[in-house]
Structure 1
Amino acid sequence: MKKRELINFQETSLLDGFGHVGSFDGHATQFMQILILIFLQTRFMFATQVSINQKDAVVWGQSQVITGRATGVTTNAAVLYLNGAQHPFTLQYPGNTFSVPIWVGRGMNNIVVGVDSAGQLFFSDTLHLALGYNPVPDLYAFATVSGREITLHSIVVSNPDTAIITYRWTQDSDNPEQVDLGTITDTSVTFSLPQNAPQGEYHFTLTGYTNMNDTMTARTYFTVGASGIRPFDIYTDHAAWIDSSVVYGITPYIFVFEGRFSDITNKIPEVASLGVNTIWVQPVYDTHDGGQGYDVTDYFAVRPDLGTPSDLHMLVNTAHHYGLRVIFDFVPNHTSIYHPYAQDAVKYGQDSHYYDFYERQKDSAPYSNNEHLTTMGKMQFVCYFWNELVNLNLDNPEVRNYIIQAAEYWIKEYDIDGYRFDSAWAVDARDPGFMDTLRLALKRIKPSVMLLGEAKASDPATFDVDGFDVAYDWTSSTSWISQWVFATSYSTNSNPTIFNNSNQNARASLLHNALTNYGHGYSARAKIFRFIENNDTYRFLPTHDLPRTKMAAALEFSLPGIPLIYNGQEIGSPGYPYTSSYIFSRSMSIQSRDNYGLFTYYQDLSHIRTELPALYGNNFQELSVSPNAYVYAYRRWKGDQNVFGLINMGDASVSATVQLPLDSLHLDSSKIYYLSDLLTDRHFPVTASGLSSYNISVDPYTTRLLILADSEVTLEVRSSIASLLPNEFGLEQNYPNPFNSSTVIGFNLPHTDNAILQVYDVLGRHVETLVNGPEAAGQHAVVFNGDRLCSGVYFCVLQYGGLQQVRRMLLLK
């Protein structure tokens, strides 16, 4: 409380009735009057108070309610001052409490409540509420098609400040063909697509400009295919690149010892050579404990122990340069208990703005049997499995907006290509539909993003309600949330799967259940995230053996869905992800740590997967096969392309007889066909009649992938790293160039040998040595940071095997 008008000590009117104390002399009488004045003033000041309940906060909604109380006042008239603007209101009786709705603006908002009591003004302390985001209009762009005529439309989803918006439409420069958009400054544009327009996706951007100097964008696209033109449906569709994606999962802090973003950037060329086309990077946000990074303390800050924002930009840009999409890990379910918002609630309890940001009581939602309570200070939290990971309350509109704003930020700022949503199953359980709301917000910005949910692909609601593009290969069991379909039982110290099940004769039946969702099938929209190991599982090779590892990997890459290679899987890494100190070495290539031939094997699988539409489509059919206790057969197809898989999960070779669906193959009985083994490059001539009951040998613990065609098929699989090695030594031009702060320098070495990579300024003075020592044959990339340098021309010099190349670089700040 602050009393803005103090009693004047010279004023004696308040002493009326007390001036008759005649037994005191003049000085004593004056002294007593002063004492009485001080007493009355102090009593009045302490009796009259105006207080606001809330504490200073960053808020994530413009609609706020200010509550508090005035005590010792003689009136019920009060005023709330919001950034100086007056909002009169009436105190509530009894108790002289108040609850005043306000609408906060951008940036910092200063709030004071004042009451005039008996002609004197009393004010509360100032409450500071900072709006955590910029409330710009939200735009939605979409296309409609009528014959060859396409119309691009715009809708204003929200416009908090009722801003005036002007528009501009543009088309991507790498569209299959440029079209004539006509007038590009209307809310919609209509144009005709030529009959001979190439097939593919045509992407467009709507940019909005406001009279408040805000700029917003929304994107959409349509696809030209053999069957016509199809506009993107934001509610159900996903971009074509997702179908053929092969994901490489990265745990930054153990990628190398004390790993940083720059360590990942340096190995991007070799990761790309593996044949993957997408990298998934575990959380990059600031955390309390580090590690895998799921204890987020700031959704908008780059984790400093991994690098700087510039380092992260360089990682993403380098990946894009090498043709890799990038998805980040995002945590919408919980924060660290040490998040500033959680700690504010711990300190202030109900007076904290963040008291309702977190769950405080258990509920009856699915998986609630896994919930438990943890208490710190004045706050009780709900957790699932980890006491320090506390559940957010997604029923709170501010929390929902906070998560949406954070997820939008990294797409806008870093141009990433999607997210893997951690613990999405928990969000789905407590707040069904929120993830679909998040989907719409993100796909309005960038419709091509991949949204991968750590949730059950076996549950139709994961796709049909929550709107995920991809979800985990988990069973529908509710007692074990993350039961991998290939796992046969829960274990904290082993890895029991179908493939090492002690009852060999049960393996085919178990595999049938795993691949068909126990006969129930999957949602038509389902796209399954396939893996044999990830950041939460035991490594596969140490808990099985090499033949079974290759067998399971070939199965993984030939099933409907999206296959994952988790960093280290390609070299048979033995370390459990939560306890490993590091996976790779800074000074050694990834492949140099492979003692099992797995790196080149995964190259083959990745290439086969991405080259054959039959393998990245959704069609899947079980085939009758004998013996059928531990041999399993299936068909994958798209159009006229057919691939057949046979997996022998037994410990001995078998002569398998498989029944192929002749009626579906539409074969010419007069022709000779070939079944070509994609992994061994063996070819088997067959007739149409001979395929009705086809006999083929399968080695123990082996998956055979056979493609049917009227000629021998040999894919140019990357069976050896030699096919990827550069033929000659070369230093690439750095990118970006010109650059500000950081740039990537790429170089190629045809053989393993000593290499020296140095930077000099324009006067020939040595600036930095980037490489000096033995380097493996292959493609390399090194990040050069010019933070401490002045703008100007610099030269990068590569020396190798008696040769030298120089590139000119331009630093502009």
Structure 2
Amino acid sequence: MYRKLFLITLSWLIATPLVAASIVLNKRDAEVWLPQQALTGSLIDLDVPTVRIVQADTSFSVSVVNRRFSFNVSLSPGANSIHAEAMVNGEVMSSGAVTLTLMYTPVPLVKLRAKAQGDNILLSVDVVENPQGRALRYYWCAHAQNPAVVKLSNSSAATPSARIPATRGRYTFSLAVIAGGDSTWYQTYVVRDAQGVHAFAPDTDVPAWMQYAVVYEVTPHRFVAHGTFRDITAKLPELKTLGINTLWLQPIFQTHQIGQGYDVTNYLALRSDLGSEQDFRTLVHTAKQQGIRVMLDIVPNHTSIHHPYAADYAAWGDRSHYARFYQHTFDGAPYASFYHKDEQGFVYYFWKDLVNLDYSNEEVQRWMIEVCKYWLRAYDVDGYRFDAVWGVISRQPGFAQRLRTELKSIKPDFLLLAEDKAADANVYAAGFDAAYDWTADTTWVSQWSWQYEYHDRESRTVFNHPSTEKRVTLLRDALFNNGDPTAARLRFLENNDLPRFIRGHNLAQTRMAAALLFALPGMPMLYNGQEMGYPKHPYSGGDLFRREQTIRSLDTTGLYDHYRQLIALRAAHPALTGNNLVLQHQAPQQGVLVLHRWAGQEHIIVLLNLGDTATTVPVDAILPPGTKKRLTAIDLLTGERLKLQTGRQTTVRANAHSGRWILLK
């Protein structure tokens, strides 16, 4: 019996480790995105009234209550080693060290303002944040590339003034904000035109170049077989010839799967399969030399489930520094009906591998802001398309305006394009310059306004609706009953989520829809391959182009030349890039819709026949009020000259599935 008891006691001692007295910091090593961090610790089998916190060359004491203690630290950029220690029986007992790596350098944030008074301007500085509380000094300068030389009254003053010369154009001013030995540069500008001098308004103004932008979306790895930055660079001259002036690259950051790139695992590093940093720098530089701006695709709503921060939470739960980086509760925000939760407690919308970030956490906001600032400052990119930002705005609507302030202070004409509803004015009020041509229907997050019914593989649009009459009424509503028709919209027939347009429409319908696309206010966009009638769905495999062949040589549809013509005509006619748009005439039973576009003395009639048969349209119906009884017109798309006369029951012919741009002389 004694021997049995001895064996039981021995086995208990072996199975139960002896716990020595120790000091424990309740924190694991982490990358952090705020300099102020709160930590806690505890004592095990130890009673002391205070512990000393040691961080680099500094230390301070904190009280211990019920063997627990807490304290705050202020971190320097880079790695910060922190430990706790106490004197016990004449010897120093120390906890293990925790390393918190501050991933950015906090700098002052300012908002520059310019006020015009006749030919004179007054520049001023609003300090939004001064995170280190240091005294600030200023140095202003006018850009050497300004249309004419500008002299500032006092370059080191907070509020210098200047007289803007008579030469028209944009005058840019930079400010260095100096804190100690560090300086950060910001910009603003004024414009001299025929009406006078106008100052950039950072809270509301949109980039002037957006009015003339023709966007081309690229899926880098499929651009050619195993595509790289170098492959895109090589085809820039072709894109320039086509008329493209704005390049949108889908996510180029490190990702778990090579795919389209929306499952980001490192926002601050490039995908190795696309090439080196120098390759990307060359792409941006070459594009700018060609007159092509470059936009990146930023993914702020979610990370990959395989992101190191998400993996750390999955492994350590609430002990992870990143526990509050991710959404774990259903909050009742807009689109909450689309929430799902996985077995680890991550909330996501539609894709289980893409888990939502928690924007109520200030550290998450700072992280994403610094990511956006990094690519802007490091590569001078011209804008961001913000993926699924509808999810961010719905959960934290104030974040967008904060992001806008930080980016526009660095580059005032930086473009903020929201993947959100242009039909909702709140998207623009939040701080975005442009948004998607989606409907306001919140039961369907991403309903394209020209799409009457969702199908994951077929393009069901107003142009191929079974009812001719319905085609006209649906298109009319999409254009005029879907929010402000002149709001800055990204307009498209295809993108990385939609079925290819030509798979659901014949060539005539495709050409007609393209003619409408480039005749409307907003930013028209082509998705790579659209210009040659590429048929495969973006989610399918397959490479778009070939290294050894031009894009045009691969086109068997004639669409390349059609798009090239549309783009060139749009650039040549101010009526097509302005915001004036009215519904001139509609005849739903015929399938006819007529729009009037104008700028100054230029008037263009956009005549669409959505029907399956040719028809004629009365001249009296298509001409705007006040038009002369007799005039000459030209169809810009065909070159046909038309003699139009009102009151004589004359007509204009419209072929089936056709679009005409009639310039009134």
How would you bin the TM-score normalised by the shorter chain? over 0.9
Secondary structure at the aligned position of 1:618 is classed as: coil
1:633/1:644 contact within 8 Å kept = yes
Partner residue, 1:276: 244
Partner residue, 2:420: 455
Q: Which amino acid aligns with 2:80?
A: N
Q: Deviation at 1:49?
A: 1.9
Paired with 1:207 and 1:106, the residues of 2 have a C-alpha distance of: 21
1:507/1:629 contact within 8 Å kept = no
Partner residue, 1:57: 30
Paired with 2:360 and 2:603, the residues of 1 have a C-alpha distance of: 48
1:515 aligns with 2:473: no
Q: How many residues align?
A: 650
Among 326, 350, 361, the alignment partner of 1:358 is 326
Secondary structure at the aligned position of 1:314 is classed as: helix
Among 266, 288, 291, the alignment partner of 2:259 is 291
- Cα 1:627–1:342 change in 2 (3 A) is closer
1:627/1:656 contact within 8 Å kept = no
Partner residue, 2:281: 313
Among 377, 381, 393, the alignment partner of 1:416 is 381
Q: 1:607-649, CA deviations, whole angstroms, 9 ceiling, x for partnerless residues? A: 1112222212222111124465511111112222221111100
Partner residue, 2:527: 566
Partner residue, 1:643: 604
Partner residue, 2:58: 85
1:659 aligns with 2:627: no
Paired with 1:292 and 1:429, the residues of 2 have a C-alpha distance of: 24
Paired with 1:444 and 1:291, the residues of 2 have a C-alpha distance of: 34
Partner residue, 1:678: 636
Q: Deviation at 1:164?
A: 4.1
Paired with 2:485 and 2:621, the residues of 1 have a C-alpha distance of: 27
| Residue correspondence of structure 1 range 678-717 to structure 2 within 5 A | 678-686=636-644, 695-709=651-665
2:333/2:394 contact within 8 Å kept = yes
Among 541, 558, 574, the alignment partner of 1:597 is 558
Among 160, 165, 170, the alignment partner of 1:189 is 160
2:458/2:503 contact within 8 Å kept = no
Q: Deviation at 1:588?
A: 0.4
Query: Gaps (5+ residues) in structure 1?
Result: 1-38, 710-813
Partner residue, 1:66: 39
Paired with 1:285 and 1:549, the residues of 2 have a C-alpha distance of: 34
Q: Which runs of 4+ in 1 moved over 4 A?
A: 117-120, 660-663
| Residue correspondence of structure 1 range 332-351 to structure 2 within 5 A | 332-351=300-319
1:659/1:694 contact within 8 Å kept = no
1:529/1:561 contact within 8 Å kept = yes
1:625/1:656 contact within 8 Å kept = no
Partner residue, 1:485: 449
Among 507, 514, 518, the alignment partner of 1:546 is 507
1:204/1:219 contact within 8 Å kept = yes
1:255 aligns with 2:213: no
Q: 1:55-105, CA deviations, whole angstroms, 9 ceiling, x for partnerless residues? A: 00111001110112113233322221122312211112xx32122122112
Greater shift, 263-272 or 148-157, is seen at 148-157
Q: Which amino acid aligns with 1:516?
A: F
2:479/2:485 contact within 8 Å kept = no
Greater shift, 246-255 or 639-648, is seen at 639-648
Q: 1:396-436, CA deviations, whole angstroms, 9 ceiling, x for partnerless residues? A: 11110000000011110111100111001111111112112
1:206 aligns with 2:175: yes
- Cα 1:690–1:403 change in 2 (3 A) is farther
1:616 aligns with 2:577: yes
1:170 aligns with 2:131: no
Q: Which amino acid aligns with 1:416?
A: V
1:362/1:371 contact within 8 Å kept = yes
Q: 1:7-29, CA deviations, whole angstroms, 9 ceiling, x for partnerless residues? A: xxxxxxxxxxxxxxxxxxxxxxx
Partner residue, 1:446: 411
Among 294, 302, 325, the alignment partner of 1:326 is 294
2:472/2:588 contact within 8 Å kept = no
Q: Deviation at 1:592?
A: 0.5
2:33/2:366 contact within 8 Å kept = yes
2:138/2:177 contact within 8 Å kept = yes
Secondary structure at the aligned position of 2:146 is classed as: coil
After TM superposition, the score normalised by the length of structure 1 is: 0.77
After TM superposition, the score normalised by the length of structure 2 is: 0.94
Query: Gaps (5+ residues) in structure 2?
Result: 1-12
Secondary structure at the aligned position of 1:349 is classed as: helix
Secondary structure at the aligned position of 1:46 is classed as: coil
Partner residue, 2:545: 584
Secondary structure at the aligned position of 1:685 is classed as: strand
* Sequence identity percentage: 38
Secondary structure at the aligned position of 1:395 is classed as: coil
Q: Which amino acid aligns with 2:269?
A: A
Among 205, 213, 223, the alignment partner of 2:191 is 223
Paired with 2:83 and 2:481, the residues of 1 have a C-alpha distance of: 60
1:64/1:103 contact within 8 Å kept = yes
Partner residue, 1:107: 78
Q: CA RMSD in A?
A: 2.0
Paired with 1:164 and 1:690, the residues of 2 have a C-alpha distance of: 75
Q: Which amino acid aligns with 1:111?
A: I
